[in-house]
Amino acid sequence: MAHAAGLVTTETVPPKSWASSAASRAVMSANKGRDTKPEKLLRSALHRQGLRYRVGARPLPGLRRTADVVFTKARVAVFVDGCYWHGCPEHHRPAKKGAVFWQEKIAGNRARDAETNEALRNAGWLVIRVWEHEDPEQAARAVVKAVKSRQETGPVDQS
Protein backbone atom coordinates (compact mmCIF):
# COMPACT_ATOMS: atom_id res chain seq x y z
CA MET A 1 0.00 0.00 0.00
CA ALA A 2 2.85 2.36 0.77
CA HIS A 3 4.22 1.75 -2.74
CA ALA A 4 0.82 2.37 -4.33
CA ALA A 5 0.43 5.61 -2.39
CA GLY A 6 3.81 6.81 -3.61
CA LEU A 7 5.21 6.92 -0.08
CA VAL A 8 8.15 4.61 -0.70
CA THR A 9 11.12 6.17 -2.43
CA THR A 10 14.62 5.02 -3.23
CA GLU A 11 15.92 6.98 -0.25
CA THR A 12 18.01 5.11 2.24
CA VAL A 13 17.05 5.08 5.90
CA PRO A 14 18.92 7.79 7.84
CA PRO A 15 21.65 6.36 10.13
CA LYS A 16 19.91 7.16 13.44
CA SER A 17 16.41 6.18 12.32
CA TRP A 18 14.47 3.56 14.27
CA ALA A 19 12.94 2.26 11.02
CA SER A 20 13.98 -1.18 9.82
CA SER A 21 13.50 -0.23 6.15
CA ALA A 22 12.54 2.65 3.90
CA ALA A 23 9.11 1.06 3.46
CA SER A 24 8.44 0.83 7.19
CA ARG A 25 9.67 4.40 7.64
CA ALA A 26 7.25 5.60 4.96
CA VAL A 27 4.31 3.73 6.47
CA MET A 28 5.02 4.99 9.98
CA SER A 29 5.52 8.56 8.75
CA ALA A 30 2.09 8.46 7.15
CA ASN A 31 0.34 7.67 10.46
CA LYS A 32 -1.76 10.58 11.67
CA GLY A 33 -1.62 12.05 15.13
CA ARG A 34 -5.12 13.52 14.96
CA ASP A 35 -8.18 13.63 12.73
CA THR A 36 -8.11 9.87 12.27
CA LYS A 37 -11.16 8.14 10.82
CA PRO A 38 -12.37 6.84 14.23
CA GLU A 39 -12.01 10.35 15.72
CA LYS A 40 -13.93 11.95 12.87
CA LEU A 41 -16.73 9.38 13.11
CA LEU A 42 -17.07 9.98 16.85
CA ARG A 43 -17.00 13.76 16.43
CA SER A 44 -19.67 13.59 13.72
CA ALA A 45 -21.89 11.48 15.96
CA LEU A 46 -21.39 13.92 18.86
CA HIS A 47 -22.17 16.88 16.61
CA ARG A 48 -25.38 15.21 15.39
CA GLN A 49 -26.37 14.83 19.05
CA GLY A 50 -26.06 18.61 19.42
CA LEU A 51 -22.82 18.72 21.40
CA ARG A 52 -20.10 21.23 20.69
CA TYR A 53 -16.53 20.59 21.75
CA ARG A 54 -12.89 21.45 21.27
CA VAL A 55 -10.68 19.20 19.16
CA GLY A 56 -7.11 18.26 20.04
CA ALA A 57 -7.03 20.49 23.11
CA ARG A 58 -5.09 20.33 26.36
CA PRO A 59 -7.55 19.84 29.21
CA LEU A 60 -4.94 21.03 31.73
CA PRO A 61 -2.66 23.84 30.58
CA GLY A 62 0.33 22.56 32.57
CA LEU A 63 0.04 19.00 31.29
CA ARG A 64 1.55 18.26 27.88
CA ARG A 65 -1.30 15.98 26.82
CA THR A 66 -4.04 16.65 24.31
CA ALA A 67 -7.40 14.93 24.34
CA ASP A 68 -9.14 14.15 21.06
CA VAL A 69 -12.43 15.75 22.15
CA VAL A 70 -12.72 18.16 25.08
CA PHE A 71 -15.80 19.55 26.80
CA THR A 72 -14.22 22.30 28.91
CA LYS A 73 -17.23 23.44 30.98
CA ALA A 74 -18.30 19.90 31.83
CA ARG A 75 -14.65 18.87 32.29
CA VAL A 76 -14.91 15.77 30.12
CA ALA A 77 -11.90 14.63 28.10
CA VAL A 78 -12.38 11.97 25.43
CA PHE A 79 -9.50 9.97 23.97
CA VAL A 80 -9.90 7.73 20.92
CA ASP A 81 -7.18 5.12 21.32
CA GLY A 82 -5.81 3.13 18.42
CA CYS A 83 -5.78 -0.63 19.02
CA TYR A 84 -2.14 -1.03 17.99
CA TRP A 85 -0.69 2.08 19.61
CA HIS A 86 -2.40 1.65 22.96
CA GLY A 87 -2.31 -2.15 23.24
CA CYS A 88 -5.99 -3.07 22.89
CA PRO A 89 -6.49 -6.36 24.74
CA GLU A 90 -8.85 -7.50 21.98
CA HIS A 91 -7.01 -6.47 18.78
CA HIS A 92 -3.37 -5.66 19.52
CA ARG A 93 -0.95 -7.97 17.73
CA PRO A 94 2.71 -7.66 18.70
CA ALA A 95 5.18 -6.64 16.01
CA LYS A 96 7.45 -9.33 14.61
CA LYS A 97 10.26 -7.00 13.57
CA GLY A 98 11.79 -4.90 16.31
CA ALA A 99 9.61 -6.69 18.85
CA VAL A 100 11.44 -5.36 21.92
CA PHE A 101 11.29 -1.76 20.68
CA TRP A 102 7.54 -2.00 19.98
CA GLN A 103 6.78 -3.77 23.28
CA GLU A 104 8.51 -0.95 25.12
CA LYS A 105 6.79 1.68 22.96
CA ILE A 106 3.30 0.27 23.60
CA ALA A 107 4.04 -0.20 27.33
CA GLY A 108 5.20 3.42 27.48
CA ASN A 109 2.03 4.60 25.74
CA ARG A 110 -0.13 2.65 28.19
CA ALA A 111 1.79 4.04 31.18
CA ARG A 112 1.40 7.58 29.82
CA ASP A 113 -2.34 6.95 29.32
CA ALA A 114 -2.67 5.84 32.97
CA GLU A 115 -0.69 8.88 34.13
CA THR A 116 -2.88 11.17 32.03
CA ASN A 117 -6.07 9.59 33.40
CA GLU A 118 -4.86 10.04 36.98
CA ALA A 119 -3.76 13.66 36.47
CA LEU A 120 -7.06 14.62 34.86
CA ARG A 121 -9.16 12.82 37.46
CA ASN A 122 -7.20 14.48 40.26
CA ALA A 123 -8.08 17.84 38.66
CA GLY A 124 -11.79 16.98 38.58
CA TRP A 125 -12.06 15.81 34.98
CA LEU A 126 -13.97 12.81 33.71
CA VAL A 127 -11.85 10.77 31.32
CA ILE A 128 -13.51 8.67 28.65
CA ARG A 129 -11.39 6.34 26.54
CA VAL A 130 -12.83 4.87 23.37
CA TRP A 131 -11.10 2.14 21.37
CA GLU A 132 -10.91 2.76 17.64
CA HIS A 133 -12.90 -0.44 16.98
CA GLU A 134 -15.88 0.63 19.09
CA ASP A 135 -19.10 1.68 17.42
CA PRO A 136 -18.95 5.49 17.15
CA GLU A 137 -22.70 5.92 17.66
CA GLN A 138 -22.65 3.86 20.85
CA ALA A 139 -19.54 5.68 22.10
CA ALA A 140 -21.19 9.02 21.31
CA ARG A 141 -24.25 8.07 23.36
CA ALA A 142 -22.02 7.31 26.35
CA VAL A 143 -20.18 10.63 25.93
CA VAL A 144 -23.45 12.58 25.58
CA LYS A 145 -24.80 10.96 28.74
CA ALA A 146 -21.63 11.82 30.68
CA VAL A 147 -21.47 15.42 29.43
CA LYS A 148 -25.15 16.10 30.12
CA SER A 149 -24.87 14.53 33.57
CA ARG A 150 -21.92 16.74 34.45
CA GLN A 151 -23.65 19.82 33.02
CA GLU A 152 -26.63 19.16 35.31
CA THR A 153 -24.66 18.34 38.46
CA GLY A 154 -21.46 20.21 37.69
CA PRO A 155 -17.97 18.72 37.67
CA VAL A 156 -16.45 17.79 41.01
CA ASP A 157 -13.48 20.08 41.70
CA GLN A 158 -10.68 18.16 43.37
CA SER A 159 -7.87 20.65 42.92
Over range 62-82, report the average pLDDT: 96
pLDDT at 8 over 70: no
- pLDDT confidence band for 80 (50 / 70 / 90): very high
Summarize pLDDT for 114-158 with one digit per residue, the tens. Answer: 999 999 999 999 999 999 999 999 999 999 999 999 988 877 665
| Strand partners for 114 | none
Do the Cβ atoms of 35 and 42 come closer than 8 Å?
no
Domain edges within the chain = 1-31, 33-153
Do the Cβ atoms of 91 and 83 come closer than 8 Å?
yes
Over range 4-9, report the average pLDDT: 64
pLDDT at 84: 86
Over range 20-47, report the average pLDDT: 78
- pLDDT confidence band for 1 (50 / 70 / 90): low
The dotted CATH code for 33-153 is: 3.40.960.10
pLDDT at 104 over 80: yes
Average pLDDT, the chain: 87
- pLDDT confidence band for 37 (50 / 70 / 90): very high
